């Protein structure tokens, strides 16, 4: 048994009801730009129909039916995920939080107390961060220390490794030179197939903080403010050629912790399948081309129960999830790896 929360505190004057959590930010979520298949319980098939065109001809007598549409399928394999923590109410003994414990029998039972809310809040924040991390970096073939944190299912980067070679661009490893991000964004637009550019109004970049900072430096050096002109909820949004750039700060944190040569091996990178992330990633895609299948939603909550035999409060959160993309013609990826 292991408590989620430990301390070495003694009682001192304070407000038992007040607490704060160390910041644990997920950053910008990309889920608003994906197609979310909800209520999913098992693996799904995505039906893809090819584009139909050039069926309109000069009028003539008789009837000639047009053909040319093919249907293919892409599968979204889902995995069952769970997070579990436990907490003994007695672990708060001799701290101010002990004032929140029950009196009489079952002093360790924190159900219905402020302590339950604290534990659940900490857990659900961690679940959300894990969801975003595995959603992008998960890879069933990951190896090395800590690989089990990424192997349950293939995340978006592992899926995008199946893109055609011309749509997987390489960024030089190491520190980014001047104007590199701007040049890379432009290269991604050049590499985007015409089908993707037809949907220009729905294009979006996702980029590491390192890429965004490099691009900001370019804008600052040229005194160009137009890329900040778009406002969403009153907040300036970074953009390139009018295409919004979503800064994925979580990527930088994950790469710093688990990526790069000499550290925990991560999911295969989009560029060449090497199990190694360096520092810089950019994804250019059309909204809703990336699919997430899940039963996780905004009202999902952790199951909680008190085990009287072991005097432990247990929390469990379960969901299923899987990823894929619909059309190869609608996404271009750039990354750096060593």
Q: How confident is the model at residue 22 (pLDDT cuts 50, 70, 90)?
A: very low
CATH topology of domain 76-335: phage-related protein like fold (3.90.1690)
Return the structure tokens found at 302.
Answer: 């952790």
- Lowest mean pLDDT segment, chosen from 27-41, 98-112, 124-138, 298-312: 98-112
Question: Over the chain, what is the mean pLDDT?
Answer: 77
Q: Are 158 and 138 a contacting pair, CB within 8 Å?
A: yes
Q: Are 313 and 87 a contacting pair, CB within 8 Å?
A: yes
pLDDT score at 167: 95
Instruction: Select the more confidently predicted residue: 62 or 168.
Output: 168
pTM of the model: 0.81
Tell me the average pLDDT across 100-118: 67
DSSP state, 296? -
Q: Are 238 and 245 a contacting pair, CB within 8 Å?
A: yes
Q: Are 5 and 119 a contacting pair, CB within 8 Å?
A: yes
Q: Are 151 and 142 a contacting pair, CB within 8 Å?
A: yes
Residue range 27-48, pLDDT digits in tens = 557 888 998 888 777 777 766 6
pLDDT score at 279: 82
Domain boundaries, the chain: 76-335
Instruction: Select the more confidently predicted residue: 169 or 120.
Output: 169
Q: How confident is the model at residue 232 (pLDDT cuts 50, 70, 90)?
A: low
Report how far residue 214's alpha carbon sits from residue 218's, in angstroms, rounded to the nearest whole number. Answer: 7
Size (the chain), residues? 338
Report how far residue 116's alpha carbon sits from residue 87's, in angstroms, rounded to the nearest whole number. Answer: 9
pLDDT score at 268: 46
* Residue 136: its H or E element: helix 114-137
pLDDT score at 28: 59
pLDDT score at 143: 74
Residue range 240-286, pLDDT digits in tens = 999 999 999 999 998 888 876 555 545 444 444 444 566 899 999 99
Tell me the average pLDDT across 137-160: 86
- Lowest mean pLDDT segment, chosen from 132-141, 221-230, 279-288, 312-321: 221-230
Instruction: Select the more confidently predicted residue: 256 or 57.
Output: 256
């Amino acid at each position: 048994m292991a408590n989620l929360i430990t301390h070495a505190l003694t009682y001192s004057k304070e407000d038992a009801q007040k607490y704060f959590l160390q910041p644990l930010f997920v950053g910008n979520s990309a889920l608003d730009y994906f197609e979310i298949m909800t209520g999913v319980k098992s693996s799904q098939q995505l039906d893809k129909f090819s584009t139909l065109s050039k069926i309109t001809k000069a009028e003539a007598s008789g009837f000639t039916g047009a053909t040319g549409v093919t249907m293919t399928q892409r599968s979204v394999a889902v995995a069952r995920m769970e997070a579990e923590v436990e907490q003994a109410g007695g672990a708060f003994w001799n701290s101010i939080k002990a004032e929140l414990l029950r009196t009489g029998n079952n002093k360790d039972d924190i159900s219905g107390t402020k302590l339950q809310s604290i534990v659940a809040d900490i857990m659900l924040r961690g679940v959300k961060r894990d969801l975003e991390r595995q959603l992008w970096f998960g890879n069933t073939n990951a190896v090395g220390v800590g690989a089990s944190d990424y192997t349950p299912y293939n995340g978006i980067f592992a899926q995008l490794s199946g893109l055609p070679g011309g749509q997987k661009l390489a960024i030089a490893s190491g520190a980014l030179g001047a104007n590199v991000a701007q040049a890379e964004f432009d290269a991604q637009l050049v590499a985007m197939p015409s089908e993707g550019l037809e949907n220009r109004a729905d294009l979006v970049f996702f980029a590491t903080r390192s890429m965004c900072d490099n691009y900001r430096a370019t804008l600052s050096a040229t005194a160009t403010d137009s890329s900040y002109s778009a406002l969403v909820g009153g907040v300036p949004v970074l953009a390139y050629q009018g295409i919004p750039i979503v800064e994925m700060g979580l990527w930088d944190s994950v790469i710093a912790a688990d990526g790069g040569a000499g550290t925990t091996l991560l999911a295969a990178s989009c560029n060449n399948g090497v199990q190694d992330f360096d520092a810089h990633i950019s994804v250019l895609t059309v909204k809703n081309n990336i699919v997430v299948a899940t039963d996780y939603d905004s009202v999902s909550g952790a199951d909680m129960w008190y085990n009287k035999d072991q005097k432990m409060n247990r929390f469990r959160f379960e969901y299923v999830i899987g990823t894929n993309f619909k059309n190869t013609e609608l996404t271009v990826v750039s990354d750096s790896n060593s």
